[in-house]
Amino acid sequence: MNNLYNSIFKSAVDAIIVINHIGIIEAFSPSAERLFGYSEDMVVGQNVSILMPKKMALEHDGHLDNYKRTNQAKIIGKGREVVGKRRNGQEFKMHLSIGKAEGNEGDLKFVGICHDMTPYYLVKNDLNESMESYENLSNYEGLYIASIENNGYVTKSNKLFIESGFVNVENNFLNYSFFVDFENIIKRTLEDGFFSISKFSFKIGDDIHVIDWNFKFTSNQKIQIIGIDRTEMEEKSTLLLNAKTHDPFSNIPNINYLNLLFNDDALDLSDYYIFRIRFDSLETIKRMFDYPSLNKSVRCLYELIGGVVDHSIQLNDYSFLNLIRKTDLPDTVFFDKIISKIVFLINENHSIQNKKITFGFCDYHRASCKTLN
């Protein structure tokens, strides 16, 4: 039987420590050596308090004295979480179970079984951090999260999802007015397991929000909804695009704007006449409008031209390229009509006497030029 006990003692995963009635270590298992960092030779004959922080060591001596005086066990036969101390001084949490036994000569022994709680707390801390991260993520300003039944009943949602009006607070169902063709969304999600809607615009309060929606059918037979607010990103993208396609000072479209229209197939060049209006100098434009700011003068000229043509861009400081849709009128009649209208609008409030303006028209097949002095 001693061989059996010895095998258990040496092979046990948890640390086993045997002490006598005054707390002196008499046996120290291999697992205890690994846990505390001491060899058995180093601790046998030492008080078990070397394995404890100072405060716990004092409490332990009190438990032994109490048991010897009253024969009443307060901690024997019970498991509890305590703090141990390794040889290097590092403290760690462990679960301690204490039992009593008799030695060969009938003397009192105590057997302590120690289970290292460090891995448990590492996992627990990771879990807490994950939960905290999830909590922070779920309450992130631009994230809408909900879990719904197939019929639209909302089982769980974050604060922003509710505050934005996506949940009908009277019955806790999804507010269908926000989601056009909701039945088709659910059908596609159930069939494919996933469905998404990109850049969907919603009016929340007084503001328009652009949201990417993702619907996912989960293993617990719910549909998870995650909406990512792209409003700020879209606004920044618009600003960046505007910086590329417009003059930074006058905010008038430039040649990049025209290229964008054609590249996106928004325009068919064959449907338009292209004509250029060129003034002899910037000073001419400034004198025409008599504004202190040159940019304001150029902007005013652009707005006058824009009232006649379909698209106008600023080629350089004193030249504009324009597109105007073709009509059934003969070219020369049409060109003269456009020139007269532009000249009239400019001359109505701003003198163009002694100013040189050149108009050049073209389409795919012909080009003409007319200079007005």
At residue 332, the pLDDT reads 77
| Tens digit of each residue's pLDDT (9 = 90 or more) over 167-225 | 888 899 988 777 777 888 888 888 888 888 877 777 777 778 888 888 998 888 889 88
Q: Which residue has the tokens 């549909």?
A: 223
Total number of domains constituting the chain = 3
Owning domain of residue 342: 246-372
The answer, as to whether pTM is greater than 0.95, is no
At residue 45, the pLDDT reads 94
At residue 365, the pLDDT reads 45
pLDDT (mean) for 74-79: 72
pLDDT (mean) for 229-254: 77
For residues 200 and 263, membership in a common domain is answered with no
For residues 265 and 338, membership in a common domain is answered with yes
> How far apart are alpha carbons 26 and 19 in whole angstroms?
5
At residue 31, the pLDDT reads 93
- 82 versus 357: the higher-pLDDT residue is 82
Query: Is residue 362 included in any domain, yes or no?
Result: yes
- Quickly state the pLDDT bin for 44 (edges 50, 70, 90): very high
End-to-end CA distance of the chain: 123
For residues 321 and 284, membership in a common domain is answered with yes
Nearest CA-CA partner of 195 in 210, 213, 178, 179: 213
For residues 299 and 324, membership in a common domain is answered with yes
Q: Is the pLDDT of residue 366 over 90?
A: no
Q: Is the pLDDT of residue 269 over 80?
A: no
pLDDT (mean) for 235-258: 77
Which stretch, 28-42, 267-281, 339-353, has highest mean pLDDT?
28-42
Average pLDDT, the chain: 79
Q: Is the pLDDT of residue 39 over 90?
A: yes
> How far apart are alpha carbons 29 and 35 in whole angstroms?
10
At residue 87, the pLDDT reads 94
For residues 253 and 368, membership in a common domain is answered with yes
